[in-house]
Chain A
Amino acid sequence: MSYLSLAPFIQKRPWLLRWMRPLSRWYFDNSGYRKLGLKADDLIPEESESVQLALKRLPPKEAYDRVFRMRRAFQCSLAHQLLPQNEWTTPDQDYPYLEPIIKEIEAERTEREDLESMIIKKRTTSSAKGGH
């Protein structure tokens, strides 16, 4: 999940965010996955260890719903049909349920690597008083 993105740059500037939001909404609506009843996080490629672990950590209800959505979308794709409009995913249903877990796992990994490549300096007696 490490790709270059302008999203953090834009999110920090509220005026830019206001300008970009309609464009972003149009883009998500037109990408079409919502018309198959999917959420954005269903599209994350599973072939990585972090995502596999995140999928194991999903709460049971989210995991079950995810499987149902994928099966429904696959059936639509086989039949070359879109879902009827009342079954499309609405924008407030399209929240990131997997991404926070993936970020947590990535943070743990980077922390482990940081701690392992740490340089340790021996304490001097003057700095020893008063704990760490």
Chain B
Amino acid sequence: MLSRSAFRQATRQSWLQQRRGMAAPASGSFQYQVGEASGIKFASRDTPGPIGTLGLVAQAGTRYEAFPGLAEGLKKYAFKNTDRRTTLRIQRESELLGGSLVSTHSRENLVTGAKFFRDDLPYFVELLAEVATQTSYRNHVMQEEIIPLIALDHKKFLASTSAMAMSSAHALAFHRGLGNPVKPSSTTPYVKYLTADALEEYAQTAYAKPSIAIVGNGVDHAELSKWINEFFGDARKSPLQQLTSPQSKYYGGEERIAHGSGNSMVIAFPGSSSPTGGFYKPEAAVLAALLGGESTIKWSPGFSLLGKAAQDAPSMHIATKSNIYTDAGLLTIAMNGSATDIRNTASKVVEALKGIAQGISKEDFQKAKALAKFKELEYGSEPQAALELTGAGLVRDNKPYQIDEVAKSVDSVTEDKVKQLVKEALENRASVSAVGDLYILPFAEEIGLKV
């Protein structure tokens, strides 16, 4: 028979073990719990710590925008005047509560969110509901606050060759949809298409219940459900216009843009979709780690093939990234530096790719797999980790982005899969874009790629 003191000791021990959560999260603590409240899908995970993060992910990025510039406009209009309170009041109240407001947009999603102390969850759920349903879109706010900022973004984009090259590579790869430019490169998007009325219509399409998902880190699942039910009850049940985007198709091609300051070149191949989508290939992450370019160890070129290839050009910056979207992906190799360095290194990049198609050394492969898995888990330990990806996955496919499963699937990659990926990439069209001194920067044919 259990004595009372033994029982008390057992409960005290289990309570202490729960308190240990902050030091060593168990492997299951990265998992998201999915639910539905008031017609809106939401996911949360109760990570330890005093800070909570909440994000409203709307499927309304540049891929889905009805006209150019609307996604950027809507992102900049977040947390501005609503029907109930003014911009200034929202800012001051959030500052007093010690929270910070976040509004970003990517190629596929519009993320409006906040970071706050856990106790303030109801306030910020209410604030996000107001932003989604009650923002008042006025012309004078557009003219005074939003359009000058977009004009500055435009100037910043035109000054950055790496941003231009990346945007151009996406446009070549996907044409419309995912290829829509994120930042404006001319005044047309914000002068011709961006008005307060257009934004209001777009907001009624973007912030409807079927196209949003709410993701929380460090919040309690039941609490979040309760507050969503209370505040999001009167969001629109169906969007004003159906924003559809057809399945992304990869095209490929070459684009060369003259630029007076800076040189960049981006070589891109079809990659893997997000794990929540249908075209997930974990070998793309391993390939990105294998090609690499940026060493994780200072003052050493690292084991990655492109890091070694770029050893002769120390002032050049080369980076490989596997960009994942819901139904497609792009593996990009971006080079920034002087034009002659890029010319010399570009052919070495293609040689490295052809080398992989023939064979990979076992040691390099092991290192690449380990690095891919490490980066995945490191990303997962950030508080905002996978907020956007989970939201997008929930809206489109009803599946959250579970970090543990992704890390496990990286383990299952074999050398043959990586070789296959590279072979297909080299046989089909690549997307090559060069920005800078076009006299020196090479054509795709010159470095051996097919476009």
Interface residues of A in 104-132 (CB under 8 A from B): 108, 111-112, 115, 120, 128-132
Flag whether B88 is at the interface (Cβ < 8 A). Answer: yes
Contact of A111 with B139 at beta-carbon distance under 8 Å, contacts A131-B120, A131-B121, A132-B97 already known:
no
Interface residues of B in 117-154 (CB under 8 A from A): 119-123, 139-140
The contact of B88 among A56, A115, A120, A132, by CB within 8 Å, is A115
Contact of A111 with B93 at beta-carbon distance under 8 Å, contacts A57-B140, A59-B139 already known:
no
Chain A interface size, as a band, is 10 to 19
Chain B interface size, as a band, is 10 to 19
Q: How far is the CB of A30 from chain B (nearest CB, A)?
A: 36
The contact of B119 among A57, A120, A131, by CB within 8 Å, is A131
Contact yes or no, A115 B92, CB < 8 A: yes
Q: How far is the CA of A56 from the CA of B119 in the complex (A)?
A: 43
Residues of A within 8 A of B89 (CB): 111, 115
Contact of A132 with B140 at beta-carbon distance under 8 Å, contacts A108-B86, A108-B88, A115-B88 already known:
no
Residues of B within 8 A of A108 (CB): 86, 88
The contact of A112 among B88, B121, B123, by CB within 8 Å, is B88
Residues of A within 8 A of B6 (CB): none
Q: How far is the CB of B100 from chain A (nearest CB, A)?
A: 16
* In the complex, residue of chain B having the shortest beta-carbon distance to the beta carbon of A115: B92
Contact yes or no, B119 A129, CB < 8 A: yes
* In the complex, residue of chain B having the shortest beta-carbon distance to the beta carbon of A101: B140
Number of inter-chain CB pairs below 8 Å: 28
Q: How far is the CB of A109 from chain B (nearest CB, A)?
A: 10
Chain A CB within 10 A, most for which of B96, B97, B123, B140: B140
Residues of A within 8 A of B139 (CB): 57, 59
Q: How far is the CA of A115 from the CA of B139 in the complex (A)?
A: 25
Contact of A130 with B92 at beta-carbon distance under 8 Å, contacts A57-B140, A59-B139, A111-B86 already known:
no
Residue-wise, chain A 39-72 has the 8 Å CB interface mask toward B (1 for contact) of 0000000000000000011010000000000000
Residues of A within 8 A of B120 (CB): 131-132
Q: How far is the CA of A59 from the CA of B195 in the complex (A)?
A: 13
Q: How far is the CA of A129 from the CA of B96 in the complex (A)?
A: 16
Q: How far is the CA of A45 from the CA of B122 in the complex (A)?
A: 46
